[in-house]
Structure 1
Amino acid sequence: MHEAEAWRWAALSNFSAAATTWTFKAKPLFEALDLIHLLGFMDVELWAEGVHLDPRGEPPDLDELAAAMDRIGLAAHSIHAPFRGLDLTSPDPGVRNRAVSVLSRTIEMAGRLDCPYVVVHVDGAGERGAGGAPTQHSGAGGSGAETGGRDAFVDEAEAFERAAAALTVLCKHAQDHHVTILVENQPDPARRRFGASVADLLELIHMVGAPNIGICFDVPHAVVSTGGWEKELRAALPYVRSVHASDTEGGSDAHWPLGRGAIDWRRVLEVLEEAGYDGGFVLEVAGGEAALEESFAALQGASGAGARGDAGARADADAGADARGDAGARADADADARGDAGARADADADADADGDDAPSSSLRSREAK
């Protein structure tokens, strides 16, 4: 299907589904955006780890990118910040400063693109040491209880303080650019990574205390780390502004299309809709165009949208679009309303994210310039 049916994804729920350019990471950015637009998406997460929008490389001209996206009606929901080699918990000031510098540049790009959210991994791809001995934790638990799988030579409380200090700097910078930082939960059943549980993220959010920090909740990451997703999602919901969706059977972060694994997507949608969730729902699947079509079919079945017919779906989409309004304004209002209350795992670099050959379009012609 290569028709720009922009209504169809929004018709599934009170929130709209978005695609990530990571799904087409082997293609140039403008070509990936063209495919995403033609598949009917109105919102996109721009990938910035290694390809597309990585500030450590040669990102495209942002004015040209913004104009091209505006012309086809594709909004930047979020930028997934770089994470490899970037660790906000590191005891090495040089490592932390480098991470803050790269993430600050990502925030600036988001501001120029009127993109309300930047998704951040707290610890890049690192671990809490390598020995596996318990360590004392006096953070969210409050009692200094032993936490298995974390090294004795890693002072976890100090690591949280380092991460919170770095995030505080980043949140202040992000406020100047009307951007909200979203920390993402990570897939790690041993809980060796910071952000492997929602409790980690909530502790950091409370320590930072900024109005413009929230959570990007990755459903399969929660399954890999905890064996389930619902308890973690319910705990995170007051701060969730974006959801990453892909499927898994639980053993690994497979990035399968929705419906291919063990996650009950009907229940996921029910929990989100019962909470009045109106944020992003990013399909972070490997496999290109076919994977997105397969995921749409699974969501359609989970939501019951297919039974209502096209007319009802279009009406729902129109109402949803009116309710969502401007993405940037929504993020600003959300940050103001929350006041002082109160990380995506490594993408498999070898995943086959190539899409089908793309049809001709104006976006691709701009890529060649």
Structure 2
Amino acid sequence: MPHTAQDWPIGAALLQFPAASPGGLPTQDAPASEWSRVLGEVAAEGFDHVDLTDSWLRPGDLAPGRLAELARTLKEHRLGLSAVSAIRRSVIDPDPAVARDNLDYLLRTVDAAAELGAPVVSVGLHRPLTEAQRRALWFWHEPGAADPAGDERTWALAVRRLRALGERAAGHGLRLSLEMYEDTYLGTPESAVRLVREIGLPNVGVNPDIGNLVRLHRPVPHWEDLLLPVLPYANYWHVKNYHRDLDPATGAYFTVPAPLEGGVIDYRRALELALRAGFDGPICTEHYGGDGLGVSARNRDYLRRLLSVKLPAIAAEREGAPA
């Protein structure tokens, strides 16, 4: 195993931080002191890594001097990067101009991630939230945009453009991780595996964020059936969990965010399955609602406890000795 339980890179997501300061200034244009305020909160919760989520700040759109400011601010708080996550920037958006702009943005993001020393860039094919999703209590209660099923021309475009991103990442020595998300070409294990295999680059893999799937208000496969097929290709991992229930009398589904140890996904087993499959990538703890950062810190500690048991046991088995 490449890491120990205590030094495995586990980063905090920044989903819970808005894209503007309390005074209304966009984070993108804010002084480094505003970035420091947020990153200081992350460090105060005991994190030594952060997933630089671009819903908070877009490193790919920072001028060189500002990117250097960001690097200094991270260093001041002794924070490394588990990854840069660029979300809702589909390279196959139905609007060709938007799709091309997204590809250019993601290429810039890969370059910026390399400048900042991030080992991974995580991207997906999901698109911006619809108006109905923005109005909903939880956005996954409403259906979002979907990739065209059975459209081999659009599929080929996804392969070609994601391969270009993977090649740019490889040139910097980075991994590219493709985030699983419903109703996209990364929305099922079979489709995600096919996409990675057709891209055909060793640094391109899957971000098996199955929390995006188990939270849906519709029938979904058991979480193990979602996870197991993609684990041989996993190279980064957003982890989050949800309570999930079904009222058989009405057919109504119910899902809300949960801490890792409390939801429908058994992360004790999921982590062991991942380690046995050879997973060695950074991890990012996410949580929607309430004090997302505080819950993420609790989730990080839970993962470290699991790793402290799982890593020695698996290593001992491989050496043929009792744990």
Determine if the TM-score, normalized by the shorter chain, exceeds 0.5.
Answer: yes
**2:241 alignment partner in structure 1:** 247
1:177 aligns with 2:172: yes
CA pair 74-47 structure 1, distance change in 2 beyond 3 A: same
Name the CA distance, whole Å, in 1 between partners of 2:82 and 2:254: 26
Matched residue of 2:235: which SS? Answer: strand
The reply on whether 1:78 has 2:73 as its aligned counterpart is: no
Q: RMSD of the alignment, in Å? A: 3.4
C-alpha offsets along residues 146-180 of structure 1, whole Å, 9 cap, x if unaligned? xxxx9998652112101011112222222333322
The answer to whether the 8 Å contact 2:92/2:154 transfers is: yes
Match of 1:232 in 2: 226
Hey, what's the Cα distance between the residues in 2 that align with 1:154 and 1:238?
25
Partner of residue 287 from structure 2, selected from 280, 285, 288: 285
User: CA shift at 1:212, angstroms?
Assistant: 2.2
Q: Counterpart in 1 of 2:194?
A: 203
Asked whether 1:163 is paired with 2:165, we answer no
What is the percent sequence identity of the aligned residues?
A: 24
Shift of the alpha carbon at 1:299?
4.1
Q: Distance in 1 between matches of 2:120 and 2:147?
A: 35
Match of 1:158, SS? helix
Any conservation in 1 of the 2:35–2:73 contact (CA below 8 Å)? no
The letter for the 1-side match of 2:53 is: W
C-alpha deviation, 1:206, in angstroms: 1.7
Could you tell me which residue of structure 1 aligns to residue 123 of structure 2? 120
SS in 2 for 1:24: coil
Letter of the 1:164 counterpart: V
Q: Measure, in 2, the Cα distance between the counterparts of 1:253 and 1:33.
A: 30
> Is the Cα–Cα contact under 8 Å of residues 93 and 127 in structure 2 kept in the other structure?
no
Decide which moves more: 21-30 or 282-291.
21-30
Aligned residue pairs, count: 268
Aligned residue for 1:295, secondary structure, equals helix
Structure 1 residue 22 and structure 2 residue 28: aligned? no
List gaps (5 residues or longer) in structure 1: 1-9, 128-149, 309-315, 317-369
Contact kept, 8 Å, 1:48 with 1:79, in 2: the verdict is yes
Secondary structure (helix, strand or coil) at the match of 1:181 reads strand
How many Å apart are 1:41 and its aligned residue?
1.8
Using the alignment, how far apart are the partners of 1:82 and 1:151 within structure 2?
Answer: 15
Partner of 1:34: 40
Matching residue of 1:319: none
* 1:194 matches 2:185: yes
**1:220–1:253 contact (8 Å) kept in structure 2:** no
In 2 relative to 1, CA 266–89 (structure 1 residues): closer, same or farther, beyond 3 Å?
A: same
Give 2:108's aligned amino acid. R
Q: Is the 8 A contact 1:20 1:45 kept in 2?
A: yes
Q: Which residue of 1 aligns with 2:137?
A: none
CA-CA distance at 1:195 after TM superposition: 1.2
Contiguous gaps of at least 5 residues in structure 2? 22-33, 131-144, 245-252, 313-323
Residue 304 (structure 1) shift: 8.5
Q: Read off the aligned partner of 1:284 and give its amino acid letter.
A: E
Q: Which has the higher contact order (CA 8 A, sep 6+)?
A: 1
Q: SS of 1:109's equivalent?
A: helix
Helix, strand or coil at the partner of 2:58: coil
TM-score (normalizing by structure 2): 0.71
Tell me the distance in 1 between the aligned counterparts of 2:53 and 2:232. 25
| Residue pair 1:87, 1:126 contacting (<8 A) in 2 also | no
Q: 1:214 aligns with which of 205, 210, 232?
A: 205
The two structures have a TM-score, normalised by structure 1, of 0.63
2:75 partner amino acid: D
Contact 2:53/2:85, CA 8 A, preserved across alignment: yes
Q: Does residue 275 of the first structure (1) align with residue 274 of the second (2)?
A: no
**Could you tell me which amino acid in structure 2 is paired with residue 241 of structure 1?**
N
